[in-house]
Amino acid sequence: MPGTPRGKTTETEETAAPRRRQARGERRVSQLLAAAAGVFCRTGYAAASTNAIAREAGVSPGTLYQFFPNKEAIAVELGGRLLQRAHETHGQAFLPENLQRPLPELLDAVLDPVIAFNCENPAFWALMHGSGIPGAMNQEHEELHSGLLTRVEGVLHSFCPQATPAELTHTSNMILGIFKSSLDLILAHEGAERDAYTAELKTVLLRYLEPMVTTTHSP
Amino acid sequence: MPGTPRGKTTETEETAAPRRRQARGERRVSQLLAAAAGVFCRTGYAAASTNAIAREAGVSPGTLYQFFPNKEAIAVELGGRLLQRAHETHGQAFLPENLQRPLPELLDAVLDPVIAFNCENPAFWALMHGSGIPGAMNQEHEELHSGLLTRVEGVLHSFCPQATPAELTHTSNMILGIFKSSLDLILAHEGAERDAYTAELKTVLLRYLEPMVTTTHSP
Amino acid sequence: MPGTPRGKTTETEETAAPRRRQARGERRVSQLLAAAAGVFCRTGYAAASTNAIAREAGVSPGTLYQFFPNKEAIAVELGGRLLQRAHETHGQAFLPENLQRPLPELLDAVLDPVIAFNCENPAFWALMHGSGIPGAMNQEHEELHSGLLTRVEGVLHSFCPQATPAELTHTSNMILGIFKSSLDLILAHEGAERDAYTAELKTVLLRYLEPMVTTTHSP
Amino acid sequence: MPGTPRGKTTETEETAAPRRRQARGERRVSQLLAAAAGVFCRTGYAAASTNAIAREAGVSPGTLYQFFPNKEAIAVELGGRLLQRAHETHGQAFLPENLQRPLPELLDAVLDPVIAFNCENPAFWALMHGSGIPGAMNQEHEELHSGLLTRVEGVLHSFCPQATPAELTHTSNMILGIFKSSLDLILAHEGAERDAYTAELKTVLLRYLEPMVTTTHSP
DNA sequence: GATGAATGAGGATTCATTCAT
DNA sequence: TATGAATGAATCCTCATTCAT
């Protein structure tokens, strides 16, 4: 609910107010988020200015601040919405039945939708890159990253029950790193090149992970 | 050749102590680059301010601009020097005799010094991350990256003579991406953790590349 | 007469429930003034934002501006109402019979209710401080101040009939100044400390005024 | 030393740098402080904007921030300089021999120079008023106020050795309050009116304090 | 060469006020 | 009436770069 950051609208007396107003506001929020997505993609999160976002959205700076208390809030909301859309669109990739399949199929089942989503929503990717200073992610990126990490660890654990937590963390971090750098390449290319890099990514992960999981999941 | 120090220094007038001048200038440049390295490491390239670099170097902003025309030039020169130092220090890793060894040994021979170098010179790493905007590297990063890429392609070619140029590029880009993201993890940890990530990196690359090269290099 | 609510309300059309309208409007005004009082107390007049007042009142900024044309009008109306309430509550302190009593009793009779009123209505005090710029009171403060001044001059005149108008003005201004600065101290403390400062105020005024009035009012 | 807020000028090698540069900077600082004094007087401290100060000084905002890290620093430096000037100009008013004189003479000896100073330097007064929110002085005002308070308490103690600390504090606070509000009146008027208010101030204080000190200091 | 002052556009953010619904 | 979105100038402050000395 980003539209009312100032809270306290006690809503006490005289009618509960129709939600027509919300409509315009919600449209503005979407507009602003779309503009932010564009600016984030073009300049990266760190270099994106709130004024540029407002300009791109065709509104005044003040309007932006009526809906978001600061720049990070925009990123948080945008990230949240993208994540939600990802779940809605490709969430079934992570269903238990998918996770039980042999590794090559699993990689296809998981990576294809995720890559597709990122290609359709490049802003998501811009958000994940953060400030470029390795040690200095902001909270939003931190959360996103550790969320993904946890998820990967979970899947990995089901594949390698014998692995220690430390090993799981190491491997998951590697997987995530490989995925991210490959996604850079995938997004930087188009058509056949893009497909080639997608295939390479799968090859890398397959060869990396196969020796760890053969006995368990390969029928 | 840092900065274009105003064409006036024709070396003809004031022959009293030209060597001195040059020496002092060179000292200043080193001073500034060392300061820049520190600032880049701490804050990243994008957030580093020229004033901060000058301050860290103990000189005035004006002095900095007497040796470098702008911020990027500092990065370019620093990157170049680090690269040169890398060559001097660990260049023998790329000697032909090294490149003929079997893959596991090759990975050790190449990665260990490179990783060591990056641990000792974290500024190099900060430079390679650049602005965090995937598609928008500046000239310096572009050069650095394509230089590395060419080199990797060269080594790879000697391993897989049958690969097409496109395949070489794809694989090299993947290798570089894997290396970069792993280096993130390596630099972000210390001691045993760092070693663990180093080992993982080698594992990933070994498994990725082995199927491509076995016939050629395995004796 | 708060706000100039758009001349359209000619009281001729819509005779259905004009009383209702007025009642609701009056409630809104009171609501807004109460909110303004709170905000003025917490942040001072200058730093109080109309949005904050509206929020505190639980209405939208637009609603606020339907009743008050601008920020100052809120202060004016609030000051007026507080003044009126002061009269209603403690007005008998200024009755002729009170003013005839000897000075110590008069001071008690006048100051005690005024202090009590200010302790109960700290917003009044916030309004009297205004912007903190000595020479630049706005209209509201000017009116408040000169109203008080006139009243003090009146009382003083009955005590010192021989004083020239200039002397009366000087002394009244001094009295008001002493009162205001003492009230600062009184409001800034509580309990015994507050009583102590109240006593000091009376002492100061008594000693200051006694020599001017002894012959007239001491029986 | 407001000219080098960024510190760290290690000043190591190659000559200790002539101080000619400082001269221009020092001039700018004075210029800025003069401008600040003007703006503070006109609008009060709280409402004074750094841009307005820079504009009044005829420089760009950036220049202001080369010498002062923020608005408060300007006030602190200005207050400090004014205080110092006050000491240099009228410091002898507080010499022990002065403080031993009978009360009427003491009041003259202390108040006349202080009033004169404030008339000549109205910015000092603007600084003492602070934000207008009684409870919310910033550190600078707090320090100034408590410094004055301590001093008044000291003098008072020599006059009324039998007074308890609490009484001393109460009385000193009253004195300070009376002085401040009177100074408002004094500064708001000119010529004969100003003198009249000065005389009133002395009268008030004399009558207030005389009963406390007669036995000790009146010969 | 070196200094440090100077610039000015741009950054995020606020707020009194107006407007369409 | 009431709403809340919209405005835009103003706030403080930063920074890459230039200039006079």
b/e per residue, A47-64, with b = 16+ CB within 10 A?
A: bbebebbbebbebeeeeb
Which residue lies nearest E2, CA-to-C1' measured? Answer: B63
Strand E contacted by B52 CB (< 7 A): no
Report the residue from C130, C132, C187 with minimal CB separation from D130.
C132
State, as a whole number of angstroms, the distance between the CA of B164 and the C1' of F1. 75
CA distance C162 to C179: 24
Strand (E) positions, B77-163? Answer: none
C18 pLDDT band (50/70/90 cuts)?
very low
> CA angle, B162 as apex, B161 and B168 as ends, to 5°?
75
Contact list in B for residue A170 (CB cut-off 8 A) is: 196-197, 200
Asked whether residue C4's C-beta has any atom of DNA/RNA strand F within 7 A, the reply is: no
- Residue that has been written with the tokens 């290099």 in this structure: B217
- Residue C175 Cα, gap to closest chain D Cα (Å): 10
Chain D residues touching residue B28 (CB < 8 angstroms): none
Length of chain B: 219
Chain A residues with CB under 8 Å of C55 CB are 6, 8-9
Would you place residue C141 in the very low, low, confident or very high pLDDT band (cuts 50, 70, 90)? Answer: confident
Give the span between the Cα atoms of A49 and A43, in whole angstroms: 9
> C211 exposed, middle or buried (CB, 10 Å; 0-12, 13-18, 19+)?
exposed
Q: Is there a contact between A12 and C55 if contact means CB atoms under 8 Å apart?
A: no
Model pLDDT, residue A3: 34
Q: Which residues of C touch D42 (CB under 8 A)?
A: 133, 136
Q: How far is D174 from chain C (nearest CA, A)?
A: 7
Whether the per-residue pLDDT at A124 is higher than 60: the answer is: yes
User: Which residue is closest to F12 in terms of CA–C1' distance?
Assistant: D50
Q: What is the mean pLDDT of residues A122-146?
A: 74
Confidence of residue A168 (pLDDT cuts 50, 70, 90): very high
Our CA-based measurement puts residue A163 at a distance from the nearest CA of chain B, in whole angstroms, of 14
Kindly tell me if the per-residue pLDDT of D180 is higher than 90.
yes
Q: Which one-letter amino acid corresponds to residue B2? A: P
Strand E at less than 7 A from CB of D10: no
The residue whose CA lies nearest the C1' of nucleotide E16 is C50
| Dihedral sign for Cα atoms in the order C80, C85, C58, C46 | positive
Q: Which nucleotide is nearest to D15 (CA to C1')?
A: E2
Q: Which nucleotide C1' is nearest B63 CA?
A: E2
Smallest CA–CA distance, residue C55 to chain A, in Å, is 7
Question: Which residue among C132, C134, C181 sits closest to D46, beta carbon to beta carbon?
Answer: C132
Does at least one atom of strand F sit less than 7 Å from the CB of D46? Answer: no
Q: How far apart, in whole angstroms, are the C-alpha atoms of residue B173 and residue B164? A: 14
Which H helix or E strand runs over A82?
helix A71-90
Nearest residue of chain A to residue C54 (CA atoms): A9
Which of A:11-40 have CB within 8 Å of B? none
Per residue in D148-167, pLDDT (tens digit) is 899 999 989 988 999 999 99
Q: Give me the total of CB pairs closer than 8 Å, taking one residue from chain A and one from chain B.
A: 109
Distances (CA, A) of D195 to B8, D116, D184, D202: 69, 11, 13, 11
CA–C1' B75–E3 (A): 24
- Asked whether residue C98 carries a pLDDT value surpassing 70, the answer given is yes
B113 touches strand E (CB under 7 A): no
**Best CA proximity match to B124, nearest among B164, B179, B50, B167:** B179
pLDDT recorded at residue C200? 98
Residue among C24, C56, C58 minimizing CB distance to A12? C58
**Can you give chain D as a three-state secondary structure string?**
CCCCCCCCCCCCCCCCCCCHHHHHHHHHHHHHHHHHHHHHHHHHHHHCCHHHHHHHHCCCHHHHHHHCCCHHHHHHHHHHHHHHHHHHHHHHHHCHHHHCCCHHHHHHHHHHHHHHHHHHCHHHHHHHHCCCCCCCCCHHHHHHHHHHHHHHHHHHHHHCCCCCHHHHHHHHHHHHHHHHHHHHHHHHCCHHHHHHHHHHHHHHHHHHHHHHHHHHHCC
- Nucleotide with smallest C1' distance to residue A26 CA: F5
Closest residue by Cα to residue B206 from A208, A174, A103: A208
Instruction: Tell me if D12 and B55 make a contact (CB, 8 A cut-off).
Output: no
Average pLDDT, integer, range C41-61: 93
Minimal C-alpha gap between A93 and chain B (Å): 25
Highest average pLDDT, of B91-100, B104-113, B192-201, D146-155, comes from: B192-201
Tell me, what's the pLDDT at D23?
Answer: 80
Is the Cβ atom of B70 within 7 Å of strand F at any atom?
A: yes
- What's the CA A77/C1' F3 distance, rounded, in angstroms? 25
Q: Looking at the complex, does the CB of residue A9 fall below 8 Å from at least one CB of chain C?
A: yes
Chain A residue at shortest CA distance from C60: A9
Percent of chain B with pLDDT over 70: 82
Among residues 104-143 of chain B, which lie with CB inside 8 Å of chain A? 125-126, 129-136
Measured from the CB, is A23 under 7 Å from any atom of strand F? Answer: no
Question: Comparing A32-36, A143-147, B18-22, C207-211, which segment has the lowest mean pLDDT?
Answer: B18-22
Nearest to A208 among B46, B132, B208 (CB): B208
Query: What pLDDT score does A130 carry?
Result: 65
Task: Provide, in whole angstroms, the distance separating residue B21's CA from nucleotide E1's C1'.
Answer: 9
Residues C94, C96: Cα–Cα separation, whole Å: 6
pLDDT surpasses 90 at C97 = no
Interface test with C, best of D40, D42, D127, D133 (most C CBs within 10 A): D133
Q: What is the pLDDT of residues C143-197, one digit of tens each?
A: 778 888 998 999 899 889 999 999 999 999 999 999 999 999 999 999 999 999 9
Q: Out of A71-80, B78-87, C3-12, which region has the weakest mean confidence (pLDDT)?
A: C3-12
pLDDT at B33 over 80: yes
Cα(C195)–Cα(C111) distance, rounded to whole angstroms?
Answer: 12
Q: Quick one: average pLDDT of B47-58?
A: 94
pTM of the model: 0.83
* B211: pLDDT strictly greater than 80: yes
Angle A20-A22-A26 from CA coordinates, rounded to 5°? 125
CB B53 within 8 A of CB B32: yes
**What's the CA dihedral at B27, B29, B31, B35 to 10 degrees?**
-170
Residue A4: the pLDDT is 33
- Angle between the N-to-C axes of helices A103-120 and A139-159, in degrees from 0 to 180, rounded to the nearest 10: 160
Confidence of residue B139 (pLDDT cuts 50, 70, 90): low
Model pLDDT, residue C209: 96
Whether pLDDT at B208 is above 70: yes
Q: Is the pLDDT of residue B148 over 90?
A: no
Cβ–Cβ under 8 Å, residues D184 and C133:
no
Q: How many residues does chain C have?
A: 219
Q: Which nucleotide is nearest to A57 (CA to C1')?
A: F6
Q: Which of B40, B200, B214 should be substituted to probe chain A, the one whose Cβ sees the most A Cβ atoms within 10 Å?
A: B200
Evaluate if the CB of D63 falls below 7 Å from strand E.
yes
The answer on pLDDT for B185 being more than 60 is yes
Q: What is the pLDDT of residue B20?
A: 53
pLDDT attached to residue A89: 86
Q: What is the gyration radius of the CA atoms in chain D, in angstroms?
A: 21
Which chain F nucleotides are covered by protein, judged by CB under 7 A? 1-21
Give Cβ neighbours of residue D29 (< 8 Å, ≥ 6 apart). Answer: D2, D3, D67, D77
pLDDT given at position C4: 34
Confidence of residue C214 (pLDDT cuts 50, 70, 90): low
pLDDT at position C94: 75
User: How confident is the prediction for chain B on average, in pLDDT?
Assistant: 84
pLDDT bin (cut points 50, 70, 90) of residue B170 is very high
Backbone phi, psi, residue C116, to 5°: -60, -45
Q: Which residues of C111-139 are buried (b: 16+ CB within 10 A; e: fewer)?
A: bebbbebbbebbbbbbbbbbbbbbeebee
